[in-house]
Chain A
Amino acid sequence: MFKRWLRNSTVATALLLAPLPAFAQDAPKQGGEIVITYKDDIATLDPAIGYDWVNWSMIKSLFSRLMDYTPGTTELVPSLAESYEVAPDGLTYSFKLRKGAKFTNGREIVAADVKYSIERAVDPKTQGPGAGFFGAIKGFDDLTGGKTTALEGIEAPDASTVVFHLSRPDATFLHVLAVNFASVVPKEAVEAAAGDFGKKPVGSGTFILRDWTVGQSLTFERNPDYFIKDMPRIDKFTVEVGQEPLVALLRLQKGEVDIAGDGIPPAKFLEIKNSPEGAEIIVDGQQLHTGYLTLNTKVKPFDDVKVRQAVNMAINKERITRILNGRATSANQPLPPLMPGYDKGFTGYAFDVEKAKALLAEAGHPDGFETILYSTNTDPQPRIAQAIQQDLAAVGIKAEVRALAQANVIAAGGTEGEAPMIWSGGMAWIADFPDPSNFYGPILGCSGAVQGGWNWSWYCNEDLDARAVAADSMSDPAKAAERQAAWGKIFTDIMADAPWVPVTNERRVVAKSPRMGGAGEIYVDPTRVINYDAIYVKQ
């Protein structure tokens, strides 16, 4: 007996087109060509490989996946799938594909394409970063271990049916099918590109890559055959790369640019904010982001929970949000407020210098101690590290700030006994999908506390790990609320051990020209940053 959650395409379409929260009074319009700038060049548009915040949203729009999100929200909806069923034991997922959906090369999408695409993302030969997302699919270890070239857990019984068999329940599996690595690609185009698919992408998303002048610009045109009507809104967008944020902003003010993807340089923020058109230019939105300070539980004296708690009380988070031009709020738990499971009632450790000093004295450090604080070296991160340094000095802790390139900070964090404290800012960490489990394993669980891992606190609590596994086994959607509460409790319980100082939840800022319409949530979409499908030009 299968439980059945039928979602037909009309419902999905209705959801996708539903009015967004806080929508401006103008209705979305069709048409228009816009220019968007970024500082960094686009590395690749291959959905199995691309994994930075700039190409993430472009890949989202070039390709489609079985599942997707309602624009501007964290609400999961079927996309290329017309409907799906989940077995009661949570080990079998069956999808019916939408009829008539086509790749932009004209060929109709069949179930075998889904199987091929996910196998390609997992195959070690692809060198993709996303293989691990699909770890619950049967046969995963055989494929990553090089024993086979296919995933036995994916079946395509007919052209429009895909069935996934899992080796363990994974409550995040529907989210996994919405991440970019699950994008459906046509095998013939991948093979024709001969290793260059990242520069010659073919998908079935809202846009088609028309032109790519390496190092200069990319042109995307609306896919007229996209399977959801009235999507996307704009006809064409040109991405100009290598554009210094300051220059991009000047060009935006002159009307040459419609969206400055890198936002507003800190030095210009107040000037723009106070200018007459400031309110129309600045869009800021919440993202699934927490900035935190890791306290290495394997380095003395941070192996003492009292010391870690004392540091939690010593940091003046309000001052750090001011350094970020107020585009952030203080955090008290690892999960960001937008993430399901966030505990609104939790207060965490209040800023209290006297109490911090008392705790340090209790832990045997009445005169503090010396330590090292790592940070990335791009503005404003070193300034934030300095603010933390001053806060620590106020309770007697002398921290030497080491501001290094991102790659070196990551390497230090993943080396046992190396980095006592790391300020996480500037690593551009946004959750891969809006589920609390994504905030645990690699950065707070035992599996991440390994050489080369991302759990820079080297915190490993077997009891919490077991609770995490239990929570992720609740794949019955009827238990979603229970699961969410279980996860929320895990994160607030972590704070008793205080392996992190959760510092800020940063909002992302995008600058747009006044002619661009739509709510802030589609310019800083929690699952993809700029949602090219939903933004539109006011006529």
Chain B
Amino acid sequence: MVFLLLRRLVQTALILLGVAVITFLLLYALPADPARMIAGRSATAQTVANIRRELGLDQPLLAQFWNYLQGLFQGDLGRSYAQKTDVGALIAARLPATLILMAAGIAVEVVLGVFLGVLAAVRRGGFVDRFVMMASFVGVSAPQFVAALLLLYVFAVTLAWFPMSGFGTPAHVVLPALTLGVLGAGWYARMVRSAMIDVLNQDYVRTARAKGLSSARIVFRHALPNALLPIIAMIGIDIGQFMSGVVVVEAVYGWPGIGQLAWQAIQQVDIPIIMGVTLVSALAIVLGNLIADILAPLVDPRIRAR
């Protein structure tokens, strides 16, 4: 385990460095000039040149990257071009909202997905199965924007059960989490269903049935734990995905997450923020996978034995 962690630590550092290099080069290769965006229409050439110099954009690309890396090693993500504020602080201010939405979204996904997946597997070929599979198909292919607006219209505008927009109380998180969860649950349901069908066809399940165990006991005690492995891997991936921000859902519900920050930074060519958000999401993806790797052997002893 210690060896795994160490190896992952080195991998993480290398991945982050790679992400930093690629993002940096891509952003500065873009045909858009941050100094020009800050300066606006009425600025003179001199003003633009001054802004460029103050931001260090007049230096060679390698020198700029080296400066950035030096800051990064000291935990400094730089200052936003447009907001003139510490990027680390801007991201930190949005982390709580992002984490809450991530946790709530994944919770809905997992609970709903596992429940429907098990139901479909047990009733394989029947009406329930076909309904779940169709619903999950709709779920995974529905655009987030449409789903978000639909939920908002039904539950916030018409029924007024939940607030339309904002952040702060548990009621605020329900609709955004439902949007993410209901759509994402489709993947989980399909995954659980196929894993469960595999497991339910195994010899030990037949043995359990032969012993005369109740259906419920077979499904939940013997079969399900063995079908959960892919779910854990998927949670790892989702952590990374949600941490990089769910721009559309955040926009519809006015959720102050990282996605909003990134979206606006892209519009303004605010490179330090784009870099910071990219690095944070890369880190989250790596961490999410690490969590999955650590959890997997705990759930499934067969991996430990390997």
Residues of A within 8 A of B (CB): 39-41, 43-44, 46, 49, 51, 124-125, 127-133, 135, 144, 195-196, 198-199, 213-216, 240-244, 246-248, 250-251, 254, 256, 405-408, 410-412, 414-415, 429, 432, 438, 441-443, 447, 450, 452-454
Contact = CB atoms under 8 A, between A and B. Distances in A.
Interface of B: 30-33, 36-48, 50-51, 53-55, 82-85, 90, 93-94, 97, 149, 152-153, 157, 164-167, 250-257, 260-261, 264, 266-269
Given A144-B46, A414-B36, 13 more contacts: A41-B261, A124-B51, A124-B54, A127-B55, A130-B42, A132-B44, A214-B256, A215-B261, A242-B255, A251-B164, A408-B32, A411-B31, A411-B36
Of residues B37, B254, B257, which shows the largest number of chain A Cβ atoms within 10 Å of its Cβ? Answer: B254
Given A124-B53, A144-B50, A215-B94, A443 B250 contact: no
27 contacts: A41-B260, A43-B83, A129-B38, A129-B43, A129-B51, A131-B44, A131-B47, A132-B42, A132-B43, A133-B42, A135-B44, A144-B47, A199-B85, A242-B254, A242-B255, A242-B260, A244-B252, A244-B254, A247-B165, A247-B252, A407-B32, A407-B37, A408-B30, A411-B36, A412-B31, A442-B41, A442-B43
Contacts of B48: 452
Contacts of A411: 31-33, 36
Given A243-B254, A405-B267, A216 B41 contact: no
A410 B31 CA distance: 9
B250 A127 contact: no
Nearest to A251: B164
Contacts of B37: 407, 410
A127 B51 contact: yes
Contact of A46 (B39, B84, B260): B84
Contacts of B257: 215
B203 to A, nearest CB: 54
A198 B85 contact: yes
Contacts of B260: 41, 215, 242
Label chain B's interface by main secondary structure.
helix
A410 B84 CA distance: 22
B267 A129 contact: no
Nearest to B165: A247
Contacts of A40: 264
Contacts of B47: 128-132, 144
Contacts of A241: 254
Contacts of B264: 40-41
Label chain A's interface by main secondary structure.
loop
Contacts, number: 151
A130 B149 CA distance: 40
Contacts of A124: 50-51, 53-54
Of residues B42, B46, B97, B167, which shows the largest number of chain A Cβ atoms within 10 Å of its Cβ? Answer: B42
Contacts of B40: 51, 129
Contacts of B250: 242
B42 A432 contact: yes
A37 B164 CA distance: 13
A110 B211 CA distance: 93
A127 B54 contact: yes
Contacts of A131: 43-44, 46-47, 50
A411 B33 CA distance: 7
Contact of A132 (B36, B46, B166): B46
A250 B254 CA distance: 13
Contacts of A199: 85
A247 B78 CA distance: 34
Contacts of B149: 246
Contact of B157 (A144, A254, A406, A442): A254
B51 to A, nearest CB: 5
A20 to B, nearest CB: 28
10 shortest interchain CB distances as A-B pairs: A215-B256, A407-B32, A132-B44, A124-B50, A214-B93, A411-B31, A129-B40, A129-B39, A242-B254, A131-B47
Nearest to B51: A127
Contacts of A406: 267
Contacts of A405: 32, 266-267
Nearest to B93: A214
Nearest to B251: A244
B62 to A, nearest CB: 22
A123 to B, nearest CB: 9
Nearest to A453: B45
B50 A442 contact: no
Contact of A250 (B85, B157, B267): B157
Contacts of B261: 41, 215
B204 to A, nearest CB: 52
Contacts of A452: 33, 36, 45, 48
Nearest to B34: A407
A195 B84 CA distance: 8
